[in-house]
A and B are shown apart, each in its own frame.
Chain A
C-alpha cells in the first residue's frame, strides 16, 4: 500500500537556523497538511494546502513558517528561524475529498 514518506526522520538544528522538512504524499492525494505534536501534547494542525495554495492555517503557522509544493510531488515545510519551542514531531498528511487523512512517519525536530 502506498505511504506518505517524510524525510529526514530526525533533524537537529541550532536555534535561529532554517530547516526544511520534506514530504512525498501518495500520488492520488489532493489535499496536503502539516501537523505537529510537541512531546506529551496533542496533535495540532498547522496548515492545509490545496491546488497549490494554502487553504487554511492555524495561529501557530506564523511568518516563520512556509509551505511549498515545488515540483508536483514533494511537499515541504520551511521554518525560517527556529526557536526552542519549535522542537516537536512534524507530521505530513494527505487525503482526498471525504476520505480519512493518512499520515507520514513524521520528522522529529530538535532545536538546541
Chain B
C-alpha cells in the first residue's frame, strides 16, 4: 500500500513568518510530487510541482525534494492570512498510462495576525 504521510496540524504561524510543511512517502519509485492548497469546501488548487532532488522556487513558495529520504516539503515565506488553508501533498506513482495521484491527509495551516 503506497502511503503519503503528513502531520494534520494545525500549524500556526504569525503573519510574515515562514511556514514549513512536510510530507513523507513510502514508495521509492515515486516520480512526481505536488503540493495543492485546499480551502474549506473547495477543490484542490495546484501550488507547486517538483520532479527532481533539490529546491524549486516560485514566488513565496519553495518546494524541496529528497528522494533518498523519501521526503518532500513546502516552505511559504512571508506568510499571509490568505495562506490559511489545508495543504495537500500528492505523489504520482507511475502505475501505467494514466498514473494517479495519491494524497496525504493534508496539513492545516493557520496564519495569525
Contact = CB atoms under 8 A, between A and B. Distances in A.
Interface of A: 31-33, 35, 41-45, 48-51, 55-56, 89, 91, 98, 100-106, 108
Q: Which bracket fits the contact residues of B?
A: 20 to 34
Contacts of B90: 43
A45 B100 contact: yes
B103 interface: yes
Given A41-B105, A42-B104, A42-B105, A55 B46 contact: no
Contact of B96 (A41, A56, A89, A100): A56
**Main secondary structure on B side of the interface with A:** loop
A33 B46 CA distance: 16
Nearest to A46: B100
B102 interface: yes
Contact of B103 (A43, A51, A100): A43
A25 to B, nearest CB: 13
A31 B98 contact: yes
A60 B101 CA distance: 15
B100 A102 contact: no
28 contacts: A31-B97, A33-B100, A35-B101, A42-B103, A42-B104, A42-B106, A43-B44, A43-B88, A43-B90, A43-B103, A49-B98, A51-B97, A55-B97, A55-B98, A56-B96, A56-B98, A89-B41, A91-B43, A100-B34, A101-B34, A101-B46, A101-B101, A103-B44, A103-B45, A104-B43, A106-B42, A106-B43, A108-B41
